[in-house]
Structures are given as structure tokens and as C-alpha cells.
Amino acid sequence: MVYLSHFGLYEQPFSLTPDTEFFFNNGVYKDSLNTLLIAVRSGEGFLKVTGEVGTGKTMLCRMLLGMLGNDYVTAYIPNPSITPHILRKSLADEIGVCVSPGVDDYDLLKSIYQSLIDHAKSGKKVILCLDEAQAMSEESLEALRLLTNLETEKRKLLQVVLFGQPELNYLLQKSSVRQLKQRITFSVTLERLSLNVLDEYLMHRLQVAGYDGTRLFTKDSVSYLFKVCQGIPRLANVLANKSLMLAFGRGQKMITKKHVKEAANDSGLGGVLNGLWKYMPQLGRRSPQERFWR
């Protein structure tokens, strides 16, 4: 980005790529990661993480996979809107099972089971993470449940973590997948950032990117940013990045409310989200601390 040296940065602070170096280890994210690590290490079968679009589910997933260490074999399926057979083949590929292109389900399951047994004998646990799990079909969810039936006398051979949008909760309400729902032992919900936490989040990303100065975003600019993005980190990143570009283009080194407002208008968010939140007041409530920023 052309503005990096202008603000004393060595990399882009508000990229949309889920770079784990920028993981915000605070508040709900710290608690969620700790909960997942404890649940995985205790050998629980199914775990669930839900959150609105842009709240950081993929980032959390990558942090979890990166922290499990050599005692774990990790599998990651980023788009599970696939048939049960392809789901099994994807899992087989992730855990190192070589299967022929035309393998049938019986031989495929047999190979997966043998691989899971081998990993267990070598003292390793196998963790499967599925992103965008709200897109799974009921048939694939049932196939996933059956995969977790693979076990020894001592423990499950496969643990599963589902990451999905709130629609995943509605999917799990269906009677056809009630057996899977009963196996979910831990559930985590990623909430939006509050106003004060959003301020900390912006500074955190700036500092990771090399910024070592004082406040770059004024309080008014953070307040307006919160008003527009409603605490969604991805939207905050988009607007913060555009605000930096606007300030750089004018030779300014402080981000004001005017910059953020212009960034929101340029993104088509200036009036759109404000109108939306009027009809969703439960998502727009503010604490007394947040009202201080108005």
C-alpha cells in the first residue's frame, strides 16, 4: 500500500486476509480460542463456533489449527457444501489416506478408519475443522456424524469443529440432524466488537503492522466507524483502510470522522447500515461506556 511509509507502517494493517499475526487476543476472541483449545484437548466429539459474516471465524479456525502442535493431525475443509462421498474423500486426503478415484464408500470408510486407528496408536488425535458449515446439506451432516462413530474402547478417533454463520443453528434445529446436535458439547458465539474494544482492535492492528505513534484514529472517527460497521471486524477493516488512503492522499496523519464518513459513502455504507440497524435494535444496543463516545 502506498500509504505505509506515510504512517510509519511496514505492512498493511487492515487487510481482509485472515493473517494470524493480526489475531486480536482479547475479549471474546481470547475466550473463544481458550474454550476451543480446552475442549479439543479434553477429547470432546463435536464443537460449534457461530458468528455473523465478518466476525472472524476463519481467523479463529486458523489460530486453533496453528496452536495444536505435533500431537494432533489436523484436517481443514473450507467449503463443505459437498456430497457425503466427497466429504469423506476430502477428509481422507487431509489425513493422508491415498484412495483411488473410483473408490466406493465401503472401501473409503475402511481406509479412513484404518488411518484413524494408526494415528491413535502413534499417540495422535485427529481434528477436523469445517468452515462455512451452514452450507452443509443434511445428508453431509449425517455422514459427518457417522464418521465420529469411529472409536476405540477408550476414545473417539475423530473430533469435529464446525464454524458457521448463525444459519448453522437453524440447520441443527431440524429433526433429521438432531442426533448430531446432541453430540455438540461446546458452543462458542463470536459477538460483534463493542465500541471500546473496536478502538483497541484498531490500535492492535496498527501496532502489529509497525505503528509506534500515539492515537491515529480520533475518538470521533472511531465512534462513527462503530456506528457504520456495528462492530463487524471485516467492515471495520474495509473502512479503516480507505480512511488511511484518504488521509494519505491529503497529506494528513490523523484519521478524523470526515475521513471515515467519506470512506463509508464510497463503500456504499454511509446510509445503508444506519437504516438497517433501525430495524434490528437488538444488534445496535450500546453500553453506558459506549455512550460516552457519542
Alpha carbon dihedral 98, 152, 86, 61, in 10-degree steps, equals: -100
Which three cell numbers, joined as nine digits, stand for 166?
A: 448463525
CA distance 112 to 198: 44
pLDDT tens digit sequence for 187-223: 999 999 999 999 999 999 999 999 999 999 999 999 9
Give the number of other CB atoms < 10 A from CB of residue 268.
Answer: 9
Nearest-CA neighbor of 118 among 86, 150, 160, 78?
Answer: 150
pLDDT by residue (tens digit) across 107-162? 999 999 999 999 999 999 999 999 999 999 999 999 999 998 887 766 789 999 99
What pTM, to 2 d.p., does this model score? 0.86
Label residue 272 left, alpha or beta by phi (over 0 means left) and psi (-120 to 50 means alpha).
alpha
For each of the domains in the chain, give its residue range(s) and CATH number, in order of start. 5-10+193-291 (1.10.8.60), 43-190 (3.40.50.300)
Place of cell 457444501: 81
Phi, psi of 212, rounded to the nearest 5 degrees: -130, 20
Rg, Å, the chain Cα set: 22
Strand order in the sheet with 184-190: 72-77, 125-130, 158-164, 46-51, 184-190
| Digit-coded pLDDT (tens) for 5-64 | 999 999 999 999 999 999 999 888 999 999 999 999 888 779 999 999 999 999 999 999
